Chain A
Amino acid sequence: MSNTPDPTPGTPPLAPPDLDLVEETGAVERVIERRRSITSLLPSRSPKLIAGLVILAVIVLYAIVMPHFVMDPRAISTDMLKPPGYGGHLLGTNQAGQDIWAQLAYGTGGSLVIGLTVGALATVLSAFFGVFGAYVGGAVDEGFALFTNVILVIPGLPLTIVIGNYVPVQQRGLFLISVVLAITSWAGSARVLRSVTMSVRNRDYVAAARISGEKTWRVLVVEILPNLIPVMASQLIFSVIFAILGEAGLSFLGLGANGTYTLGTILYFANQSLALTQGAWWWFIPPGLMIALLGMALSLVNFSIDEIINPKLRQSTRAAQRKWGLTPAQIKKSQEENLR
């Protein structure tokens, strides 16, 4: 297999076409053709996916562009605890007269950076412990699996709180918080990746690649990893949500990143200044709403990825059933979709 110039070697070979369906081979070949293109790796377009991506794009753009247009989020003024709209403050001001719209713009960026950093770190960790262990097998696998399961059952946030509290405030930067969150969040993904790797590892084409003398890393990266991409993408998105929520919780307890605005730190200051009892809802509603929107957008994208991983989730929905038994062209189309 190492000599074939197949651009997607991770693709499991399709079953040979039935003799009765020789005239259908053209269709099968077209399907194979489609698999080779990158687009076949992407989720099929669905309202959920589009809605998720649009919300996500708006939030990311907001976090990138908006900080250039707002006033300094630290600038103190005498307009203390003013409701939205007062004196040009779009979302009002806080206890110190700081503009909440500006803080929200900076905070969204901070939360996104933490989310992406943790997501990347946790994915690397889970791939190492899940994929590598399961592929090598034997004592390494046993050891990795035990380690993963132990980390999984030890409650994450309390551990993060304890670690965070022992780090001096000056050293508690954005990156350190991300590392701590990543350390406590990779185990769930690693367990899933391990079970998927186990099943992929035993497929014939992987055995063929091994017997033909391919190096371990090449079998892992070229033969096995492409099959794991949808699962890993889903896990990545999940750990981004986890990280944004975890960071918010940590910041809310006063253990967040020092000197940076995140959505969690805004909520922390709101709670510290008793925004609730003063009725200053404009101080703590927007950051939480932003977290919820971000989480919802990411979950919507995840739904579409889940439908790739588990085709049962996408077949035979009512919408799909209505398609059945209509014009021959549509039947053909749905057949192609089932093959895919």
Chain B
Amino acid sequence: MRFYVQKLLFYVAAFWAALTLNFLIPRMMPGDPVSIILMKLAASGQPVTPETRQAIAIQLGGIGEGSWQSQYWRYLGNLAHGDLGVSISNYPVKVTDILQQALPWTITLIGLATVIAFLAGISLGIFAGWKRGSWLDNLIPAATAFQSVPYFWLALVLLLVFSRYLQWFPLGQGYDTMAFPILHPGLNWPFLSSAAYHAVLPALTIVLSSVAGWMLGMRNMMVSTLSEDYILTAQAKGLKPGRVRFTYAARNAVLPSLSGFAISLGFVVAGSIVTEQVFSYPGIGFQMWKAVSNNDYPLMQGTFLVISVAVLGANLLVDLLLGLIDPRTRARS
């Protein structure tokens, strides 16, 4: 029980840290978002009065209004009401509405791709570690080249080959925008199949880039685990190699991969944000890019919060799962 309480408290602290960073960054950085928006307004020929300045400051969550403490409390209060402000580039759409539309796309894409990459990488790592020096094991240096490839570059290459030259897959978007002019036309078969068809290349990008990391980690842990005494005992008992490989070695070797999940997920999320931009995939990363290129500060802060919460949630789940399957983690706390 103590383990679970500790974990929950830790993630509450991390959540608070993310919220506070989100509050502090706009106020500590040298750039003044209010002035930047005012300049944009002035450049487009709109009249700029002191009232405009105040109105924009309020829209941005009250930057520069009152003391830091009162700003912070107002910020937390707005968050508690689920109020992330109004998007500037899509005025007057609420940031929460945009995020609500984008989130399912990203969670489905990254979630599925991560699960596929994890399972494939772990299985490949088991075999590479089991047969040291086999062809699969010798493939590892080549696999790390994939790991060092930027996600978005791989996305560009896949698009060039499969969409532009072979024309097997579409060049972008999350679904066929011609056939479905209205966003979210419902969960019916034609729409879902169109979405799945459009998701193949983005998912392939994420899987190809992240599978090597899982594979390498698992392979190294397999090698370390195989020299343990209990493996020797299992072999001496005359157990079948398959049983030793999976039930004795792989089960123990997979645990560090799970506890290193936080670092790996950070990489996948980072890569996916940029990948979504290449594919114009209607997810959170694409919205973040749009927010960045339009200086849409409320939307950008909203996407940062949503990504942080999602990553924290995924890590919490994995931590709890690890506590469930590995009693040692519980005992240590």
- Residues of A at under 8 Å CB distance from B? 48, 51, 146, 149-150, 152-159, 161-163, 165-168, 171, 188, 241, 245-246, 248-249, 252-255, 267, 271, 276-277, 279, 281, 284-285, 287-288, 291-296, 298-300, 303, 306, 310, 312-313, 315-319
Is the contact region of chain B dominated by helix, strand, or loop, or is it mixed? helix
Contact of A288 among B26, B150, B224, B262 (CB under 8 A): B150
Note all chain B residues with C-beta closer than 8 A to A152.
262-263, 266
Stretch of B70-78, B175-183, B272-280 that contacts chain A? B272-280
B292 touching A295, Cβ below 8 Å = no
Complex Cα distance A292/B133, Å? 24
B292 near A254 (CB under 8 angstroms)?
yes
- Give the distance to chain A from B40, nearest Cβ to Cβ, in Å: 14
Across the interface, do B144 and A295 meet the contact criterion of CB distance under 8 Å? Answer: yes
Q: Is B148 a contact of A298 with CB atoms below 8 Å?
A: yes
A281 vs B160: C-alpha distance when bound (angstroms)? 8
- Determine whether the beta carbon of B300 is less than 8 Å from that of A318: no
Nearest chain-A residue to B296 (Cβ)? Answer: A165
Central interface residue in B171, B274, B295, by most chain A CB within 10 Å = B274
Contact among B17, B133, B144, B223 for A150, CB-based, below 8 A? B17
B14 touches A154 (CB 8 A): yes
Tell me which of B43-51, B80-88, B242-250, B305-313 binds A.
B305-313
Smallest beta-carbon distance A153→chain B, Å: 5
Asked if B141 is an interface residue, CB under 8 A from chain A, the answer is yes
- Judging by beta carbons under 8 Å apart, are B150 and A245 in contact? yes
* 14 residue pairs A–B, Cβ–Cβ below 8 Å: A146-B10, A155-B308, A162-B25, A166-B33, A252-B150, A267-B156, A271-B152, A277-B164, A288-B150, A288-B154, A292-B148, A306-B220, A312-B223, A313-B223
Q: How far is the CA of A313 from the CA of B220 in the complex (A)?
A: 7
B227 to A312, Cβ gap below 8 A?
yes
Q: In the complex where A276-B160, A312-B227, A316-B227 touch, is A154 in contact with B308 (Cβ < 8 A)?
A: yes
Decide if the interface of chain A is mainly helix, strand, loop or mixed: helix
Q: For residue B131, which residue of chain A has the nearest CB?
A: A318
A-contact 0/1 string along B129-158, CB 8 Å cutoff: 000110000000100111111111110110
Number of interface residues of B (CB under 8 A): 63
Q: Are A168 and B31 in contact (CB under 8 A)?
A: yes
How far apart are the CA atoms of A169 and B231 in the complex, in Å? 58
A163 touches B270 (CB 8 A): no
Q: A163-B25, A317-B133 are in contact. Are A249 and B144 (CB under 8 A)?
A: no
* Residues B304 and A284 in contact, CB atoms below 8 Å apart: no
- Least Cβ distance of A317 to chain B in Å? 5
> Nearest chain B CB to A161's CB is how many angstroms away?
6
Contact A276–B150 (Cβ < 8 Å): no
Closest to A275 in B: B156
A313 touches B224 (CB 8 A): yes
Roughly how many angstroms separate A174 CA and B99 CA in the complex, as a whole number? 32
- With contacts A167-B31, A252-B274 taken as known, whether A300 is within 8 angstroms of B141 at the C-beta atoms is yes
Query: Is there an interface contact between A158 and B270, defined as CB atoms closer than 8 Å?
Result: yes
**CB distance B144 to A296 under 8 Å?**
yes
Task: For the complex formed, measure the closest distance between the CB of B105 and the CB atoms of chain A, giving whole angstroms.
Answer: 16
CA distance A248 to B133 in the complex (A): 34
| Distance (whole angstroms) from the CB of A115 to the closest CB of chain B | 12
Residues of B1-55 at the interface with A, using a CB-CB cut-off of 8 Å, are 10-11, 13-14, 17-18, 21-22, 25-26, 29-31, 33
- Please give the residue numbers on chain B whose beta carbons come within 8 Å of chain A beta carbons, in ascending order: 10-11, 13-14, 17-18, 21-22, 25-26, 29-31, 33, 132-133, 141, 144-154, 156-157, 159-160, 164, 171, 220, 223-224, 227, 262-263, 266, 269-271, 273-274, 277-278, 288-289, 292-293, 295, 297, 300-301, 303-304, 307-308, 311-312, 315
Distance (whole angstroms) from the CB of A232 to the closest CB of chain B: 17
* B145 touches which of A161, A284, A292 (Cβ 8 Å): A292
A285 to B159, CA, bound (A): 12
Q: CA A318 – CA B137 in complex, angstroms? A: 11
A296 touches B141 (CB 8 A): yes
Task: List chain A residues, Cβ under 8 A from B25.
Answer: 162-163, 166
Given contacts A161-B304, A271-B156, 19 further A-B contacts (CB under 8 A): A48-B141, A146-B10, A150-B17, A153-B266, A155-B269, A157-B270, A159-B21, A161-B273, A162-B300, A165-B300, A167-B29, A168-B31, A246-B270, A248-B153, A249-B151, A281-B160, A288-B150, A288-B157, A312-B224
By the criterion CB–CB under 8 Å, are B269 and A149 in contact? no
The answer to whether A271 touches B269, judged by C-beta atoms less than 8 angstroms apart, is no
**B145 cross-chain contacts in A, Cβ below 8 A:** 292-293, 295-296, 299
Query: How far in angstroms is the closest Cβ of chain B from A332?
Result: 22
In the docked arrangement, what's the CA distance between A267 and B152, Å? 9
Min CB distance, B132 to chain A, in Å? 5
A140 to chain B, nearest CB (A): 17
Given known pairs A155-B307, A166-B33, the reply for A245 and B148 (CB within 8 Å) is yes
**B10 with A299: CB separation less than 8 A:** no
- Shortest CB–CB separation between residue A110 and chain B, in angstroms? 15
In the complex where A295-B148, A312-B227 touch, is A162 in contact with B304 (Cβ < 8 A)?
A: yes
Residue numbers in A under 8 Å from B148 (CB-CB): 241, 245, 291-292, 294-296, 298-299
Distance of A31 from chain B, by nearest CB (Å): 22
B273 → A minimal CB distance (Å)? 6
Residues of B within 8 A of A271 (CB): 152, 156, 278
> Shortest beta-carbon distance, B79 to chain A, in Å?
16
Ranked nearest first, the 3 interchain pairs of A and B with the lowest CB-CB distance are A295-B148, A288-B153, A157-B270
- CA distance in complex: A313, B273 (Å): 35
Q: Once bound together, how far apart are the Cα atoms of A161 and B300, in whole Å?
A: 9
Could you tell me the distance between the alpha carbons of A310 and B226 in the complex, rounded to whole angstroms? Answer: 13
Task: Find the B residue at minimum CB distance from A278.
Answer: B164
**Residue in B144, B149, B156, B273 whose CB lies within 8 Å of A276:** B156
Partner of A158, one of B171, B277, B295, B307: B307
Per the bound structure, the CA–CA distance linking A162 and B151 in Å amounts to 20
